[in-house]
Structure 1
């Protein structure tokens, strides 16, 4: 029986593949567990439309990420940190604080998990931080840390 896989199945194929399996395996495992659908003309057409729509959405997400990366080139995020005598810094600036400042200053939602910091910022001045907006798009965000 031919089956359209709805998710990756080890030993048989990836999501969206049309595979030929035994009737019993198809009915008792793949279809019963909602891992696949019988490969009828309607289901094949639905799969074709779904993959076309997913490709369109992926292209839109990529375009939006590239557009945001281009906008980020002109951004300069200002944040402050407590300092003591002689400019000694207390605490640090984390990715969550940077995401909050981007929201305040530029009205853009930026997930803190997309901000790549090897370690929190513990010094004053200008810092360039990588932001992974999309698997194919990485932007540089300039963050200026001043005294509070």
Structure 2
């Protein structure tokens, strides 16, 4: 008889209590999950994603095109079938060295351009804000707002 009671408690748990417990956890966890999904699926998110993807593709294409163009141009000058190619026995070594140097120089130049661009952008933004601040001060002092 005791054994029968234990089995009925187990069957009660597996048939009713466990699904109810799972449902209760799902109901309490759903509000935490739904806002993230709703934010991800909001119209402004989709618009921003679409715009960022479009601009990112344009910039990536331009950079990739420029890089591929330069690389193929250099390859054609170094190995192509033109009168300007080098035909010496060292040309293979020269080409390998040139490519390695070009890659290294490209990375150094890219980093320097990134650093300078960041600095120049920051400087230009500060200058623009200072000009705007001066214009607003002049506007408040004189009452003439010409902007």
Q: Do these two structures clear the TM 0.5 threshold for a shared fold by scoring above it?
A: no
Larger of the two Rg values belongs to structure: 2
The structure with more strand, counted as a fraction of residues: 1
Q: Normalising to structure 2: TM-score of the pair?
A: 0.31
More relative contact order, 1 or 2 (CA 8 Å, 6+ apart): 1
